[in-house]
Amino acid sequence: MHILVIEDEQRVADLLKRGLEEHQFTVEIAFDGAIGRKLLLQNEYDVVIMDIILPQVNGLDLCKQIREVRPHLPIIMLTALGTTDDKIEGLDAGADDYLVKPFDFRELLARIRNVTKRNAVNSYSNGYILKLSDLALNLQTMTATRDGKEINLTPKEFKLLEYMMRNKERVLTRAEIAEKVWDTTFDTGTNFIDVYINYLRKKIDKDHPVKLIHTKPGLGFILKEN
């Protein structure tokens, strides 16, 4: 597996390179966002691991730029910025996963396995269009439309809607959504899933008489026509 690490701290970059190569990965290092972007346009990678605070081009902007040309490339943000707002901002920029420094290397390896496994599933399903009523999700172009009008979704909103459409007419618990969409264990003290469901409601249902996203009190959420 070919991995690009974009990290401006020499010590951290060397640690990542050495650790990943011990597990038979091929690793390239970029010490700023501009070099990272250049390498990404020139070469093919299986995973990108990047910091957010980078010289030249920061990680959030770089992530958005990568998504424009490599929509399915797995991206893991590895950064010292660890607040909930930081994580949401990173995921909304297009990251598949978010790991806070200092980190356990075994956890990083597990995250790499998870994002590459998901990417393999996405690649297999390229070309399919998921539909429910007048809502359509194109997995190849990563676009959503309702009644023929395009809906602007963030990468994480798209991933959540994709999972719901693949499991339409079935109640999805918060724990299941947290595990399958965010690769994390649901914390009852947080409401980030409800926040994202509300984001989708505003974009998917707000201007339409037929609502598709429904709440099952005490259970979770379901995507269905009525």
Q: What is the predicted pLDDT for the residue at 191?
A: 85
| CATH code, residues 2-124 | 3.40.50.2300
Determine the Cα–Cα distance for residues 137 and 70; give it in Å rounded to an integer. 18
Q: What is the predicted pLDDT for the residue at 153?
A: 92
Determine the Cα–Cα distance for residues 31 and 218; give it in Å rounded to an integer. 48
CB 159, CB 166: distance < 8 Å:
no
In tens digits, the chain (226 residues) has pLDDT values of 789 999 999 999 999 999 999 988 899 999 999 999 999 888 878 899 999 989 999 989 999 888 887 777 889 998 888 788 888 888 888 888 888 888 888 889 988 988 877 665 554 444 467 888 889 888 877 889 998 889 999 988 999 999 999 888 899 999 999 888 887 776 766 788 999 999 999 999 998 999 999 999 989 999 998 7
> For residues 88-114, b (16+ Cβ closer than 10 Å) or e, as one string?
bbbbbbbbbbbbeeeeeeeebeebbee
Q: What is the predicted pLDDT for the residue at 45?
A: 85
Determine the Cα–Cα distance for residues 160 and 225; give it in Å rounded to an integer. 18
Which amino acid is present at 129? I
Residues with Cβ within 8 Å of 124's Cβ and at least 6 positions away in sequence, in order, are: none
Delimit the domains of the chain by residue range: 2-124, 129-223
Q: For domain 129-223, which architecture applies? A: Orthogonal Bundle (1.10)
CB 197, CB 211: distance < 8 Å:
no
| pTM of the shown model | 0.55
Q: Which residues are registered as beta bridge partners of 138?
A: 129, 143
Eight-class DSSP state of 185:
P
Eight-class DSSP state of 63:
H
Q: What is the predicted pLDDT for the residue at 89?
A: 85
Q: What is the predicted pLDDT for the residue at 68?
A: 81
Q: What is the predicted pLDDT for the residue at 142?
A: 82
Q: What is the predicted pLDDT for the residue at 188?
A: 64
126: exposed, middle or buried (C-beta count within 10 Å: 0-12, 13-18, 19+)? exposed
Residue 168 token pair: 């339409």
